[in-house]
Amino acid sequence: MENTKLIILIKSLDQYEIRQFKDFINSPAFNKKKILPKLFDELKKYYPDFNDLRSNEKQLYSRLYPGETFDYFKLKNALSDLYNLGKEFLSFLKYKKTCR
């Protein structure tokens, strides 16, 4: 999981952009899924190097979905949704910079 598109995207952000991305994820104008802010907060704990993330996938899942048995595809879908939101965020940043 260390070299996924999502992790590469998050690694490319600086501290200020990380805070902006968190605000973006928490905004109901951009995100309607309640699990994505939780997922981002859990992933942010591994920022900036994301060491040992692969070995903690089951722990990550149990923090996101307490009491449920591990479902790889459910976690993968949430990660994919967060990645897509990340791409929207990068587009939003580019738009903001061009409008100034």
> Where in the chain are the domains?
5-99
Q: What is the pTM of this model?
A: 0.91
Nearby residues of 83 by Cβ (< 8 Å), 6 or more positions away? 4, 5, 6, 9
Is the separation of the CB atoms in 21 and 86 below 8 Å?
A: yes
Task: Give residue 57's pLDDT.
Answer: 87
Given pLDDT bands bounded at 50, 70 and 90, which one contains residue 2?
A: low
